[in-house]
Chain A
Amino acid sequence: MILSTGARWLLRLAAAAVLTFIYAPLVLVALNAFSTSVTFAWPPPGYTLRWWQAAASNEGVRTALVTSVEVALAAAVIAVVLGTLASMALVRYDFFGRDAVSLLVLLPIALPGIVTGIALNTLFTQALGGLTFFTLVVGHATFCIVIVVNNASARLRRMSSTAEEASLDLGATPWTTWWRVTLPALRGALFGGGLLAFALSFDEIIVTTFTAGPGLQTLPLWIFQNLFRPNQAPVVNVAAVVLVVISVLPVYLANRLSGGSAGATTK
């Protein structure tokens, strides 16, 4: 479209303003994690690494970080296994009810998290004997499946099925074909999907609140609990920066592994 110079500049200005709106708050948190002021006076009167030391020696933060990593790893592994199988079915087969299955996979993140959370809470507390570490993993895996399905489906659609057909025609069993032909081609996308699932699980709080066993604390739960305690504020800032870095880093890696589009369609 041939836009006038004025229109181009207007759009440039608007885009710059929106991008500033997107990034300024994140920069603010990052700066405050190094600020010498306990009350986040603005602009920061000086910079220090003191809060990072305080966070590193904080028992609550460390335990929560370990729990978060364990939950995210377990949820990501389950999501990768279930999501890969489902994406093969959704892309390679045409069957009655395919749209319904796609919708079912998407629902756990398209419906408000509080609905997913309290629904799982009623099942676990009323029928399955209460909340544990396991219920927390189940809750996370449920909303992570869609990420892996999206990532693997995108790759499967770009791959033609001729290599698989050739393998089957040449007498390989479906299992051998999967192991030697399909999986090697999918590996990057699956690892990418797993990383995205890890990132999604790592900073989730709503479903976590409703499915975590008593005494279990993930990093987001720790932050939320300490958010309103003024003397914890500097350590909360550090935990927040750690949380952002640990969830954004896998996304960056996933993007490199799956060729640029990872996480673009659905968080």
Chain B
Amino acid sequence: MSVQAMLHRRPALRLAGLLTPALLWLGLFYLVPLGFLLATAFFATDSFTGRVLYTFTTENVVEVLTNPAYLLTVVRTVAVAVGVTALCVVLAVPLAAYMALVAGPRARPVLVALVVTPLWASYLVKGYAWRVLLAPEGPLGGLSPGYGWVAVVLTLTYLWLPYMILPVYAGIDGMRGSYVDAAADLGARPWTAFRTVVVPLLGPAVAAGSVFTFSLSLGDYITVQLVGGTNQMLGNIVYANFSTDLPFAAAVALLPLLVMAAYLLTIRRTGALERL
């Protein structure tokens, strides 16, 4: 009995020992800060000193949720995130299809490495590269759309594209030799097989990739400063206010958080979250 009890108890103790450090850390330095963010959005600011006053007020949250200027920024930011995600899908599918269906087995890992490596090159440097590329006297010359929303969508697409290519590639790769061959055996032409078998099955893979392309675009404030001209996204409002009016910045930061939470809840049904 005592041995059995020990065997029952010790794995649980070991599990607790393994889990506690990371959970404590993420609790203290992630969940608690998120709670602070939420609470801070309901505090006020002393307009002379810029210090946070710990008195409850809904002023900032109401302002953010009702002022048309901020709602317009939300719409613009979400539109950019949607545009970036759509463009990422359009670029990712042909490359992923090539990698999974045309490239040989030895070329595949090389191609994956080619797609992944730029992810590790600095975000800032890549944004900066596009600033140089799209400059009025830059290499693109007259073809450059100039600094503005088009440039923002292009640059963000460039930045997050690998996040979309990888799950889509994994998705198509997983269909090789099964569904795709079955479709061919049953007489479907390649294009029909692609349209009626591959594309519908890509849903979860695209959803998994979109978590990153959508979320990372939603919170961006640097790319739009680099190539967006005078345009502003939600992140810029947070960035411009966090050192002078933290409660207001916190209230604005709740917006991308809300949009993202809604997005995650929506796509959870596709099973995409298990693929991250």
Contacts and interface: CB of A to CB of B under 8 A. Distances in A.
Interface of A: 1-4, 7-8, 11-12, 14-15, 18-19, 21-26, 28-29, 32, 39-43, 78, 81-83, 85-86, 88-89, 93, 95, 101, 103-108, 110-116, 118-123, 125-127, 138-139, 141-142, 145, 149, 174, 199-200, 203-206, 209-210, 220, 223-224, 227, 236, 240-241, 243-244, 247-248, 251-252, 255, 260, 263-267
B120 A199 contact: yes
B29 A138 contact: yes
Interface string B102-134: 100000010011111111111111101111110
B215 A110 contact: yes
Interface class of chain B by DSSP: helix
B33 A123 contact: yes
Contact of A220 (B22, B124, B163, B264): B124
A28 B125 CA distance: 11
A174 B14 contact: yes
Interface size class for chain B?
Answer: 35 or more
Interface centre among B31, B131, B226, B238 (most CB of A within 10 A): B238
Interface string B37-51: 100100000000000
Contact of B212 (A26, A95, A110, A260): A110
A62 B250 CA distance: 34
Contacts of A267: 116, 119-120, 162-163
Interface class of chain A by DSSP: helix
Contact of B125 (A1, A29, A40, A108): A29
A29 B139 CA distance: 12
Interface centre among B124, B137, B139 (most CB of A within 10 A): B124
Contacts of A240: 122, 124-125, 128-129
A106 B138 contact: no
A134 to B, nearest CB: 11
A265 B165 CA distance: 11
Given A145-B25, A205-B124, A266-B276, 18 more contacts: A25-B129, A42-B137, A42-B138, A78-B25, A82-B25, A85-B19, A114-B221, A118-B250, A119-B30, A122-B246, A122-B250, A142-B30, A145-B22, A174-B14, A203-B124, A240-B124, A260-B109, A264-B166
